[in-house]
Amino acid sequence: MIYLDIGIDLGGSMQSIILKGENTPIDYELKLAPMNEQKEIEVGFYEGQRALVKDNKLLGKILLTHNEKLGPFVVDIHIENEKMTASIEKTIVETFYLSNEATAFFILKETEQFEEIDKNIKEREKERQNLKEYIYNTLSTLNQIVIDVDKTPILDIIYKAEDVCYMDDITLEELNAVQNELEGNVNLFMNKIQKFI
């Protein structure tokens, strides 16, 4: 059994990929979409229940790289006997050791006092991730537009919104405002270029 969530670092937030209470053995395929022809990505694996990775236990990190092909980075995870292995194309690249039941009990007790704080952080981080995904999808769509139109103004707006995604002290309300403003600007741009298609 898994005694604590296992997750990855998404810009400082803990994105759980395997939840506590699941029975072992577990096999899980982790797929990570690259940003803008990204050739490598470092993945940190964490164990715990807190909203931010800094408040959880770091199991370890692995570096994923692309050679010729682009597309998602894929890591196969196998968990058994409080041990987690990460494999790429059937080759084990790293082994991590998970907390036992006694250790997890104390971690869970300590976590209880932060439930409300973590709930608010998780809501904010979910919106941050939604904004990042919207930006990624919008940039992919813009790259596919082949008509001769100046994309610079909309790209500037998108990159400014992307900078907001990495601000530590941003609030949920500010993220929502940025998302709404960005969507409005992208819709205006797309409506304008519809005339040329």
What's the pLDDT tens digit per position in 105-160? 999 999 999 999 999 988 988 888 889 889 988 988 888 887 788 888 999 999 99
The span from the CA of 156 to the CA of 144, in Å, is 18
Cβ atoms < 10 Å from Cβ of 107: 17
Contact predicate 53/46, CB 8 Å? yes
Tell me the whole-structure pTM to 2 decimals.
Answer: 0.73
Residue ranges per structural domain of the chain: 6-99, 117-194
Q: Are strands 6-10 and 13-18 parallel, antiparallel or unpaired?
A: antiparallel
Domain 6-99: CATH superfamily is: Substrate Binding Domain Of DNAk; Chain A, domain 1 (2.60.34.10)
Average pLDDT of every residue of the chain: 88
Class of 117-194 per CATH?
Answer: mainly alpha
End-to-end CA, the chain: 55
Edge-to-edge, what's the strand order for the sheet holding 73-80? 26-32, 73-80, 83-88, 91-97
Cβ atoms < 10 Å from Cβ of 112: 8
